[in-house]
Amino acid sequence: MKEDQTLFKQLEKLLTEQRNPASREIDLADSRKIVSIINSEDKKVAESVELRLDEIASAIDTIVSGLKVGGRLLYFGAGTSGRLGVLDASECPPTFGTDPQTVQGFIAGGKEAMFVAQEGAEDSEEEGESELDRLNVNSNDIIVGLAASGRTPYVHGVIKKAKKIGSPTIFVTTVSSDQVDLEVDHMIDIPVGPEVIMGSTRMKSATAQKMVLNMLTTGAMIRLGKVYQNVMVDLQLTNKKLEERAKRIVMMLAGLEYKEATVYLDKADYHVKTALLMALGNMDKPQAEKELLKHDGFIRRALIDLK
């Protein structure tokens, strides 16, 4: 009973567990009014994220440093937070051509929890600690804890274990940092305030976390040379749609016709960056691969060096 009272008092203080004055009459509203209230609250999320851009940028630098030496970017969360981590990780291979092991997401309760809530799975710090043991986490891996409330025991266990290992740690939460009793290298607190529906952190809290995760991985991948200008050029061509997108990318960036772009991609074994550098730098595949390696995969740097 004492433990339950402690948790009750913790939740009582959280911003995400407060009632939102703007939505107190929402149960009487028609559909148009409901979506207007939700939209008005969602507008505040981007403003809250903007206040933490410096810390997000610093976290990106840490991620880049770790990935360059073979580390992994690993997300851990429970419920909606965990699902967002899995989602972001799963999008990296097709978007940026990363190895599936490089960015991974884990949710309390395992894969089943992605689709059906596993009650109680988030309540154990020990479960979080054992997760890192199972993954053989080392000091090169970057550990990201996701917890809207800032207090999820599973996530706390992960972060505490990571600190012992010496892994860089990032914590993303939607309550203010003074409500989080945890030592981390990068505290990204986005206090979005009370939800439209009290305690429903699948709403503003989830939106804020998704925005931050988009920045973390996209920023890191740009810094690793996986984007040319503002186009993703390291995508994996795993289906016909992506193959056609690759042709469009080569056509657009190299000023080629459809058939010409197809020829370059064929010669480059459908590696988009190689095909682009071959076309833009007027070189063959071995030379393009050599230049990409020399310039850490950055097409623009390779082209500048050729001038």
Residue 227 to residue 56: CA distance in whole angstroms: 19
Indicate the Cα dihedral angle 23, 25, 27, 29, nearest 10°: -100
SS3 291: helix
SS3 113: helix
Could you list the active site residues?
Answer: 91, 122
Residue 295 to residue 298: CA distance in whole angstroms: 6
Nearest one of 265, 234, 249, 244 to 92, comparing CA atoms:
234
Name the pairing type of β-strands 73-77 and 142-146. Answer: parallel
- Helix 272-281 vs helix 285-294: angle between axes, to the nearest 10 degrees? 100
